[in-house]
Structure formats: structure tokens, C-alpha cells
């Protein structure tokens, strides 16, 4: 049953979209993997007290991902966050049991799915109304499993997000994938946020297919999934600078 069907998932200021409806899946991608990950963390970690977060960490160890989220967001309540560490990093310092599950093989998509379900149900049982899911990253999963298997996995996750009225955020490092692979993953999502390098170490981002006003004017169509054969989501917003808490703090230093 869908929960909180009317309340949008809200995002921090400085991103190209203010919020999305429950049951929305967003792909965040670009040639700058770091920039895409920072933007995706801001989307995934922006929930209020009634929202939980489940992160799938395939790029780095679970603790490292949480530390990165702390720097990017300026802080969050870790009791609302669960992490499936599927990075395969053999480092006891990165492993943890509280709010975390570990998968040794990043290619074990069935195992990842099972641990995700356990963490998800744990958060719901704590009384959290809904969940933001962040996959960091689809590209790392593709390094250990073929496109067909990863596509099925992403399809399962996006379908669950739709059914439960949650939010899905999927990171794709476009420098690691060809256009065919990026398109295959994007078709499971309602829209995308593109990220590119800006000036002075900053990032720029734009939204596509998420209800934003296109740069050329006109209305943006709705519906789940970007149609096969469409040009990367059709309508596009304008590029805008993205500022993070970490970068703002650096600017204020004497």
C-alpha cells in the first residue's frame, strides 16, 4: 500500500528541482562521478524526521559513504539511515553492524536485494513513514555483473519505489558507461539530473523529465519511465551551479 501519497519529497535549495511526488525514481549522472554522487547524496539525505534512508554502497565502504554524506549535507540523524555495504572492501574499520548490512560480493545482486529488504522493513517498523533509497552506484554494480542482471535489479528497486510511494535515487558515472548502458538504466526512471564540472571546483546541474520548466519553454510531460528511443528524457531545464555545505564552509574560511 502506498503511504503519504500526497506529500512531495522535498530537496534542499540550490538543486535544479525543489521536490518530486512519492513513487518517483531519479537517475543522477554525468561525466564527473564525484559531482553526481554529491548531488545524489543531497537528494537522498534530505528527508525529515518521518523519513528513513537506505543506501546501497558499492563504490566505497559503508562508513566512508556516511562520512561523505556528513560532509555534503552538514549532518543528519544516523538512526534514520541504513546502509547495505556491497563494496567488497575487506576492511574491518569499514564494517559495522548497527544500521548496516554487509555483502562481500558486489555482484551478488540477490544477496543485496535481501539485505535491502531487511533494512527497509527495520526502518518501517521503527515508525518511519517512508524511505529514500540511494544506489551508489549503478556503475559499480555493472563492474561486477552484466547489464541484463543489473537492469533486472534496478527494475525491481524502481518497481518497489513506485508501489510503496518512496523515492529512488540511482547514480550512474557516465564516464564509465556507454550511451546504450546509460539509456537502459534511465528508462526505469521518471527523470534525471545531469551533473557536470563548473568553474573553480564547483558543479553544475540540470533536471530532465521531473516537472521542471524546460529551457526552451513549454510543458513537461509526466508518467513513470523515460520512453525508449526518446532523447535522454526530452525536455531539459537550464544548467545551474550547485553549492554544497562543505563548499560553502570553505568559502567562509578566512
Model confidence, pTM: 0.86
Distance CA 18, CA 38 (A): 16
The Cα–Cα gap between 206 and 196 comes to 9
Q: pLDDT tens, position by position, for the chain (254 residues)?
A: 455 556 899 999 989 999 999 999 999 998 867 899 999 999 999 998 999 999 999 988 888 999 999 999 989 998 899 999 998 875 555 444 455 778 878 889 999 999 999 999 999 999 999 999 999 999 999 999 999 999 999 999 999 999 999 999 999 999 899 999 999 999 999 999 999 988 777 889 999 999 765 544 333 333 345 444 344 555 678 899 987 555 544 444 44
Output DSSP code: residue 206: E
Handedness of CA 5, 109, 101, 171 (dihedral sign): negative
Taking a C-beta distance cutoff of 8 angstroms, is the pair 130, 50 a contact? Answer: yes
Q: Parallel, antiparallel, or unpaired for β 191-197 and 203-208? A: antiparallel
Q: At what angle do helices 62-73 and 33-44 cross, to 10 degrees?
A: 80
> Which domains are assigned to the chain?
19-252 (3.40.50.300)
Amino acid at each position: 500500500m502506498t503511504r503519504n501519497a500526497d506529500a512531495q519529497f522535498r530537496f534542499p535549495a540550490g538543486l535544479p528541482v525543489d521536490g518530486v511526488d512519492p513513487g518517483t525514481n531519479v537517475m543522477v549522472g554525468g561525466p564527473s562521478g564525484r559531482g553526481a554522487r554529491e548531488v545524489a547524496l543531497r537528494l537522498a539525505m534530505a528527508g525529515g524526521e518521518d523519513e528513513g534512508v537506505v543506501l546501497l554502497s558499492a563504490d566505497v565502504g559503508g562508513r566512508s559513504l556516511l562520512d561523505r554524506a556528513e560532509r555534503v549535507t552538514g549532518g543528519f540523524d544516523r538512526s534514520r539511515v541504513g546502509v547495505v555495504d556491497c563494496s567488497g572492501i575487506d576492511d574491518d574499520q569499514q564494517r559495522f553492524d548497527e544500521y548496516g548490512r554487509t555483502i562481500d560480493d558486489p555482484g551478488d545482486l540477490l544477496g543485496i536485494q535481501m539485505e535491502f529488504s531487511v533494512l527497509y522493513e527495520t526502518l518501517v517498523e521503527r515508525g518511519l513513514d517512508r524511505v529514500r533509497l540511494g544506489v551508489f552506484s549503478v556503475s559499480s554494480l555493472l563492474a561486477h555483473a552484466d547489464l541484463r542482471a543489473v537492469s533486472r535489479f534496478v527494475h525491481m528497486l524502481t518497481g518497489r519505489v513506485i508501489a510503496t510511494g518512496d523515492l529512488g535515487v540511482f547514480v550512474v558515472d557516465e564516464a564509465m558507461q556507454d550511451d546504450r548502458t546509460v539509456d537502459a538504466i534511465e528508462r526505469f526512471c521518471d527523470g534525471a539530473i545531469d551533473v557536470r564540472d563548473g568553474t573553480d571546483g564547483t558543479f553544475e546541474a540540470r533536471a530532465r523529465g521531473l516537472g521542471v520548466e524546460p529551457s526552451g519553454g513549454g510543458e513537461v510531460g509526466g508518467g513513470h519511465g523515460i520512453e525508449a528511443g526518446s532523447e535522454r528524457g526530452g525536455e531539459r531545464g537550464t544548467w545551474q551551479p550547485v553549492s554544497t555545505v562543505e563548499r560553502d564552509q570553505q568559502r567562509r574560511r578566512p
